[in-house]
A and B are shown apart, each in its own frame.
Chain A
Amino acid sequence: MGAINVLILRAAGINCEEETAFAWARAGAVAETIHVNRLIESPAMLERFHIVTVPGGFSYGDDIASGKILAVRLSLHLGDALRAFVQRGGLLLGICNGFQVLVKAGLLPGPGLERRVTITHNDSGRYEDRWVWLEATSDHCAILRRGQRWMVPVAHGEGKVVTDGEETRSRLVEGGHIALRYCDAQGRPGPFPINPNGSEMDIAGLTDATGRILGLMPHPERAIEATHTPDWTRQRPADGPGMALFRNAIEFVENHVTAGG
């Protein structure tokens, strides 16, 4: 197939677009950064793309609540277009603020679970930048391989995934929505700082029923070089651990998608 095209969605306050585009390019895709206002003007441009990424940042200052205003704008103007995009096989990835946006727009965990899951202030009550271990825990996410484990950085003040109760939690588990969990280097769960924000069930990332929408709080795009890792001067890794996620996504598109481009 031809080039794999990735749309990086910008908005006021989104600030991880450059390194996210770079990570996609490094994985072999062609990344194009487009402001949400342009996409609202012509939603049809989505047809050119295989992957849409909502990067990290502070969209609209995270005023009111993190990701809320961009979520409202996406729901109002692009909700149908994005659902159609995923329906025809496109991948939608939200990183950090992008994850918050997808949850608050109801795209994650998806139909039937809207307004039952949210992302709120860290238990520590403050913004924190630190590296954590993650394990992929879902079978059906297009971008992840169950059991894969990596170290990646988190940097957020509102990353705690919260549900409205036990029923929702079991639906998340049964539906395979829990894509990523915080763990230690051996894959075991634990309190802070292993779980850096107090997320219920150590949730670091969620996927929808199709497995083609993924949102995660950590930043794989900041972990794509060996020198990104926090202890590379001690043990020199061959590559950045975050590249796996981008490569998996490209591989999925190559294997499954024929349309687009």
Chain B
Amino acid sequence: MLLWQVEVFPKSEAVDPAGRSALFALRELGVKTVRQVRSTQLFIVEADADRATIERLARELLADPVTEDWIVVAPTDKPSKKNGTGVIEVHPRPGVMDPVAASAQSALSELGLTVASIRTARRYTLSPAPAVAELELIRRILGNECIHEVVDGPRVPAPPPRPVKHEFRIRHVGLRALNDDELSALSRRGHLFLSLSEMQALRGHFRQLGRDPTDLELETIAQTWSEHCVHKTLKSAIVYRGAPFPSLFGGADGEARVPQNDSSAPGSEQHVERFGNLLRDTIARATRELMAQRRGPECLSVFKDNAGVIAFDERFGIAFKVETHNRPSAIEPYGGAATGVGGCIRDVLGCGLGAKPIANTDVFCVAPPDWSADRLPRGVIHPRTVLRGVVAGVRDYGNRMGIPTVNGAVHFDPRYLGNPLVFCGCVGLIPRDCVEKAARPGDLIVLLGGRTGRDGIHGATFSSAELTSTHADEFSHAVQIGNAIEEKKVLDVVLQARDHPDGCLYHAITDCGAGGLSSAVGEMAAETGAEVDLETVPLKYEGLRYDEIWISESQERMVLAVPADRVEALCAICRIEDVEATVIGRFTQSGRLVVRYRGQDVGDLDLRFLHDGLPKEERAAEWRAPQAGESDELLAEDAAAASGGPAHASPIPSLATPFDPMRSALAAHDDNQPAPPATDASTSRDASRPTQRPTPVSVSAEFDRDGPDLADELCRRLSHPTIASKEWIIRQYDHEVQGRSVIKPLVGVRRDGPADAAVLRPLLDSSRGVAIGCGICPQLSDFDPYWMAVAAIDEAIRNVVCVGGDPDRTAILDNFCWGRTDDPRQLGGLVRACVGCRDAAMIHGAPFISGKDSLNNEFALHPHDVAMLGEPGGAVRDGRLAIPGTLLISAVSLIDDVSRCVTMDFKPVASRLYLLGQLTRIVTTGCAAHGAQPPPVVQTSGDSPTPGSCNAGFGAQPPHEDGRLQSDMRPTFDPRIAARTHRLAARLIRTGRVAAAHDLSDGGLLVAVGEMALAGEMNCALLGCPGGPAGSGGLTPFDAVNAFAECPGCYVVQIPEPVPIEHLLLDEERNLPMTLIGRAMPPPPGEEPQLSFPAAEPEFGVSDERIAVERLREAWQRTLRW
């Protein structure tokens, strides 16, 4: 067998995008010496073939005749390197998915050449040769050690390592003899991540059986009982002690809560509430009650399947699932995000008897992109690299699958440094008679799709643990690269088998995700029983142990329950589609999960114990309302702002000082504790690490900085990365494939305005539509997770309403990402968020249909890095960096006729602008005081915006132990008014009265209007900001506080002249808050569009601010114009 290497390289730099983007990445992260990078694709072919044959392959298959040159390196040739250059080669590690190699191999066989193996690699030739000090950084940028071998090249081609043959031997784990300490040690050492009481339950079970478990049995239970698979925290009994819940809705018993005492002494009372099962008693309960009351869309399947399903029309349902893939994305952003997308698509494909995926969504939470590379904790990938990687991962997987990615968001906060969050959603179309499924005894277990390898082992348990600085090494096997085309083929097979002329070819289907076969088969067999023969599972390579086959999470696999007489029909489809289908066992009636390998039992578990044996734990949760601390100071600042004090006197940290986000976050938390100077940090670093770090590119440095006037401030807000245009991301996603697109993510004259939500027509021949939107406001989590949940739900609903969605037929999904919930304070916050979810869902009539949680999102820092990030502080505690409690709400809403949809860009008609809803601030304490009464009329002048939001710049507020911001806020936001406002907005849109609608979210009113103006290229003259005294039309000049207050429940709508809104209202809508705030009109011919508004000036009273819309556009676009 000969080993040939074909080297394919671009003929010129002009056609070398891989080289150019590598150079760009190097320079972006501070590599200075390298000025040119050329890339070469390497194919290492192991075959019995002569040089002429290999040359023919290079010419006909591997190289492009116009743009590329190639050479063939024979086994005997010595690799050479040009002087003055550096060469780095990036080779996939053995066993890592290499889709190009797989495709090349099948194409070669088509051309008549059988090869023993083929691998690919990429070579980067750097000139001039980089400085030695930069080499480590360069290696890290060009490859990821988790999945790549990054070597100095050129490397002499070597045959692939042969897997070690292992001898089959059943291994038992001596569990029965272990004491408690040893049980805990075993749980950690074996990466089981089970608690002591769970390990004790296991020990008790096997003592009762009088035998020890096999390793496979232990692994099966650990996977099935993992937080990832069973959500034991959210489903556990929890006793909550702490501040009362705002009594917006009922208590856990369904009765209206007794109104609490006056809010002036928040936290003074101790509320105690016991939840038998937190999820069931809050989120699921709201759904149950709404279904009983026939409110919301018709729910066809909730919380029990891989995705939730609502009715779309008489024939079809809409399935929706949102997943997180945080841990893998933290370690390998590209592969982590891609397999996150892949997994979520399989959830939808494995929902019921299979839904056809028609749209994807993606939301990322990452640290600020200009984070100093000098202050990157070890084990952490730079946020810029993370963001580039996850975007590329979603792009490559979604685009290749032919599923449009239509909606998303990116939120920046330094506390996501160690645990970036990656949410992937998928929407599917499913025939209503395909929603139910059940495997039947006698059905064959068919494994469909990709082969099984050692990749992804322990993903389920890994995803349930906190990350540490050494996780990248310990868990590299949990990280995978996806192969979208394999999954597309599986999708094609499943949908054909589902819609087979003889009827669906299977009784049940599920995806092989976390936990691999152990979870998939274990779940499907829960009501029956199953026998599996592991040696029948097709493997990528030899050498897997039986337990590895069982728990491997290799991607692109589905498990089906197929009646014996239909297997052949299924296989016939698979043959045409080039998909492997293998019978690996059968479902039985035994109630047992029996796993065999080469005829011997390697596992025999009681399914009832597996699914119900998890000990129920009662957890303690506590939450303390922010105490009155520095409220006096706050009030003074408030007053200063209200009286026209300088903008920077507001309690909002200015965007002008955000260079050290973590430090400013920490400093904001504790002003008495100066953050350590950067030099302390660098000297405390491990000396073995390079101390020469590149200077980061600072996005912040590009912010407008001149002057405190509001027009400049508006530009600064627009440039904040959370607010700024995401066009760089959006255009990389195919958001139109499948031809269902109605409202695209970018709208307006130049197609660059931010659409509030996406609209699709699920059926190509129908004008019925669905709107897909999301809401996320982790900045409120520090304030009160209850209100974060209420605000996120409100935002998600506003977004779908803005494009034409129906608030009476909107379903929502929850995705919690939280810190360590064995900390009662963190758990207390989670409880409050769940209660907020329940209350808001009930108020809005929007049922939850699916959800998922990801807990323990904390990063255990290397001890040297703790000081660097500045302990003590709110963000770093006990050496761990925790994310802010984060809740993503995704919404899907029905639209009867998409031709009624609107977009957020001002249309070229003379028109009035109204604010629907009240400019308020959201509060935690005190709402209870008003019980079910309508809220008082609000004095908004001088109100402060929500704390810690985008307004706070990069330094989002840390958790407030001392509660300096919240303590004396008055109750102002009432979701019940908001729910009615949503219906008003929706009705005006549905009846064709609205030319443009946009919701107030990050950045508040002035940002919303600015976005509408730049998208519509229209003149816009604002009369003032709501909140003025009676007699002024309710208006007051804009100031740095009210202009950017982030208020839930608010819309800006453009209503064409001459009809004023009063003429459009129904009686019951007349008492809803709404204010005429200005006018929009086409600019006079030859003039550039402008935005004007009255601004409060400290010395001159009121000034008329004017700003060119073009300047707003530039401010909004430049931050993430990557």
Residues of A within 8 A of B (CB): 10, 12-13, 15-16, 18-19, 22-23, 35, 37-38, 56-58, 60-65, 68-69, 72-73, 76, 115-118, 120-122, 125-131, 153, 155, 162-164, 219, 221-222, 224, 226-228, 230-231, 233-234
Contacts and interface: CB of A to CB of B under 8 A. Distances in A.
Contacts of A16: 402, 737-739
B413 interface: no
A126 B732 contact: yes
B738 A19 contact: yes
A243 B767 CA distance: 18
Interface residues of B, number: 66
- Most chain A beta-carbon neighbours within 10 Å: one of B484, B734, B738: B734
Nearest to A130: B731
Interface in B741-760: 741-744, 746-749, 751
A15 B402 contact: yes
B907 A63 contact: no
B111 A76 contact: yes
A121 B749 contact: no
17 contacts: A13-B489, A15-B400, A16-B737, A22-B765, A35-B576, A35-B577, A61-B485, A63-B99, A121-B17, A126-B732, A131-B751, A163-B66, A227-B767, A228-B739, A228-B742, A233-B743, A234-B748
A117 B744 CA distance: 34
A155 B736 CA distance: 8
Contacts of A38: 576
Nearest to B401: A15
B110 A222 contact: no
The 10 closest A-B pairs by CB, nearest first: A15-B402, A19-B739, A63-B103, A115-B65, A118-B66, A125-B17, A61-B485, A121-B17, A63-B100, A13-B485
Given A64-B103, A227-B898, A233-B747, A219 B20 contact: no
A60 B731 contact: no
B99 A224 contact: no
A164 B15 CA distance: 13
B876 to A, nearest CB: 36
Nearest to B751: A230
Contact of B747 (A19, A76, A230): A230
A233 B103 CA distance: 43
A97 to B, nearest CB: 10
A233 B733 contact: no
Contacts of A63: 99-100, 102-104, 485
B106 to A, nearest CB: 8
A163 B15 CA distance: 12
A72 to B, nearest CB: 6
B998 interface: no
Contact of B749 (A23, A117, A231): A231
A12 B489 contact: yes
Contact of B903 (A62, A163, A233): A233
Given A12-B488, A118-B66, A37 B578 contact: yes
A231 B31 CA distance: 43
Given A63-B104, A121-B15, A128 B731 contact: yes
Interface stretch (B56-64, B521-529, B698-706, B878-886): B56-64
Contact of A117 (B60, B66, B107, B733): B66
Nearest to A69: B107
Interface string B2-22: 000000000000010100110
Contact of A15 (B67, B488, B761): B488
A53 to B, nearest CB: 14
Given A22-B764, A234-B749, A234-B905, A129 B735 contact: yes
Contacts of A130: 731, 751
Contacts of B104: 63-64
A114 B733 CA distance: 32
Contact of B742 (A58, A125, A227): A227
Given A15-B400, A15-B738, A129-B736, 9 more contacts: A12-B488, A72-B60, A118-B64, A120-B66, A121-B15, A227-B898, A228-B736, A231-B751, A234-B905
B430 interface: no
Contact of B733 (A121, A129, A163, A222): A129
Contacts of B65: 115-116, 118, 164
A155 B61 contact: no
Contacts of B907: 233-234
B671 to A, nearest CB: 44
A214 to B, nearest CB: 20
Contacts of A115: 65-66
B732 A60 contact: no
Given A61-B484, A120-B64, A125-B20, A227 B899 contact: yes
Contact of A233 (B21, B488, B765, B902): B902
A121 to B, nearest CB: 4
Contacts of A23: 739
Contact of A128 (B67, B576, B732, B743): B732
